[in-house]
Chain A
Amino acid sequence: SYELTQPPAVSVSPGQTATITCSGHKLEEKFVTWYRQKSGQSPVLVLYHDALRPSGIPDRFSGSKSENSATLFIDEIEDLDEADYFCQAWGGSADGAFGTGTTVTVL
Chain B
Amino acid sequence: QLQLRESGPGLLKPSETLSLTCSVANYSISSCCYWGWIRQPPGKGLEWIGSIYRGGATFYTPSLKSRVVISSDTSKNEISLHLTSVTAADTAKYYCTRSILDESSGYSHWGQGIVVTVSS
A residues bordering B, Cβ < 8 Å? 1, 31, 33, 35, 37, 42-45, 47-49, 54, 86, 88, 90-91, 95-101
B110 touches A33 (CB 8 A): no
CB within 8 A of B104: which of A47, A90, A98?
Answer: A90
Contacts A1-B62, A33-B105, A54-B100; is A86 near B46 (CB within 8 Å)? yes
CA distance A12 to B47 in the complex (A): 27
Give a binary string over B40-82; 1 marks a CB under 8 Å from any A CB, 0 the rest: 0000011110110000000101110000000000000000000
The answer to whether A45 and B45 touch across the interface, beta carbons within 8 angstroms, is no
Known contacts A95-B59, A98-B47; A48 and B106 CB within 8 A of each other: yes
By the criterion CB–CB under 8 Å, are A49 and B105 in contact?
Answer: yes
CB <8 Å contact, B108 and A49: no
Interchain pairs with CB closer than 8 A, number: 65
The answer to whether B110 touches A86, judged by C-beta atoms less than 8 angstroms apart, is no
- Would you give 17 A-B contacts (Cβ < 8 Å), ordered by A? A33-B105, A33-B106, A33-B107, A35-B46, A37-B46, A43-B110, A45-B100, A47-B106, A48-B106, A49-B104, A54-B100, A95-B61, A98-B45, A98-B47, A98-B48, A101-B45, A101-B46
A47 to B95, CA, bound (A): 19
Contact between chains at B46 and A98 (CB < 8 Å): yes
CA distance in complex: A12, B10 (Å): 38
Nearest first, the 6 A-B pairs at minimum CB distance are A96-B48, A33-B106, A90-B104, A31-B104, A48-B106, A42-B110
